[in-house]
């Protein structure tokens, strides 16, 4: 089994110094870190790339940390347990209590010690991400995997599928590596999705890979439908 790669974290804060400080602390601990200046910027990045954890400031222009959390909860529910708010002014009163209850007390008070940040991040990323707990549907269907413009299409067979991911199988040595970003086309259903390779392994002359989809699939309706117009994201 190929080793698990570093976790991918998105740091969201309108303060340049805070973003840089968090990025340096987390990167020095082996995490892959990207940053966003506010909630709107963060949402655009979350839509285009899968993350293992979102670390967000609470008070920001355009879209604050709590509103960002609500958007993530609605559109990316598998990340709700991987969302950590940070602030120098914790919410107070009844509204503040409602916010803290909504985010399950996942808040980091500024200023914080690097060890405190790392302990909280390690604790949250140690919990299995929610999309892996979804019901998987057995399904035998061909799919085409595009890894890069200059790389030939990989023809694979889907083993099982959920709204957030799929397990695929192809003959020969492993081609897909953990962390690869790919495009998955299911010709039988005329559906295409972007995905990230979460694991790869080899068994009895076949290669197996687990893909996490960047946009959910409408399962089981896709399995029931004979075909549909090409749907891309």
Query: pLDDT, tens digit, for every residue of 160-218?
Result: 898 888 889 988 776 788 778 899 999 988 899 999 887 777 766 788 888 888 888 88
- Are the beta carbons of 12 and 36 closer than 8 angstroms? yes
Are 107 and 29 members of one domain?
A: yes
Q: For residues 4 and 179, give the distance between their C-alpha atoms in angstroms, rounded to a whole number.
A: 9
Spatial neighbors of 177 by CB under 8 A, at least 6 apart, are: 2, 197, 200
Look at residue 209 in the predicted model and tell me its pLDDT. Answer: 85
Q: H-helix or E-strand containing 97?
A: helix 93-102
Q: What is the pTM of this model?
A: 0.56
Residue 26 has pLDDT above 90, yes or no: yes
Are 22 and 99 members of one domain?
A: yes
More confident residue, 90 or 131: 90
Give mean pLDDT, residues 12-16. Answer: 95
3-state secondary structure (DSSP) of residue 72 = helix
**Which of 93, 109, 131 is the last residue in one of the domains?**
131
**Which of 107, 131, 155 is the last residue in one of the domains?**
131
Query: pLDDT, tens digit, for every residue of 81-125?
Result: 789 999 887 776 776 677 776 676 688 888 999 999 999 898 888
In a domain, 201, yes or no: yes
Cα-trace Rg, the chain: 19
Q: H-helix or E-strand containing 98?
A: helix 93-102
User: What CATH number corresponds to the domain at position 214?
Assistant: 2.40.10.220
Spatial neighbors of 80 by CB under 8 A, at least 6 apart, are: 69, 72, 73, 130
Q: For residues 121 and 125, give the distance between their C-alpha atoms in angstroms, rounded to a whole number.
A: 6
In a domain, 230, yes or no: no
Q: What is the DSSP letter of 226?
A: S
Are 188 and 212 members of one domain?
A: yes
Q: What is the DSSP letter of 136?
A: P
pLDDT band of 228, cuts 50, 70, 90: very low
Bridge-based pairing state of the strands 8-12 and 53-57: parallel
Domain that holds residue 78: 8-131
């Amino acid at each position: 089994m190929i080793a698990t790669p570093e976790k991918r974290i998105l740091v969201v804060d309108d303060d340049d110094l805070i973003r840089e400080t968090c990025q340096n602390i987390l990167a020095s601990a082996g995490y892959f870190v990207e940053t966003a200046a506010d909630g709107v910027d963060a949402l655009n990045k979350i839509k285009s790339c899968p993350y293992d954890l979102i670390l967000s400031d609470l008070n920001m222009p355009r879209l604050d940390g709590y509103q960002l959390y609500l958007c993530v909860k609605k559109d990316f529910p598998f990340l709700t347990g991987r969302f950590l708010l940070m602030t120098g002014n914790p919410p107070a009163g009844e509204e503040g209590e409602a916010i803290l209850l909504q985010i399950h007390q996942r808040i980091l008070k500024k200023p914080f010690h690097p060890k405190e940040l790392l302990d909280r991040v390690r604790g949250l990323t140690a919990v299995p991400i929610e999309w892996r707990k979804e019901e998987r549907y057995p399904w035998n269907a061909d799919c085409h995997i595009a890894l890069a413009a200059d790389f030939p299409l990989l023809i694979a067979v889907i083993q099982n599928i959920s709204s957030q991911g799929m397990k695929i199988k192809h003959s020969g040595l492993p081609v897909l590596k953990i962390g690869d970003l790919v495009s998955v086309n299911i010709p039988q259903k005329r559906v295409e999705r972007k995905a990230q390779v979460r694991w790869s392994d080899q068994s009895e002359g076949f290669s197996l890979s687990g893909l996490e989809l960047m946009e959910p699939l409408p399962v089981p309706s896709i399995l029931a439908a004979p075909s549909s117009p090409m749907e891309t994201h």
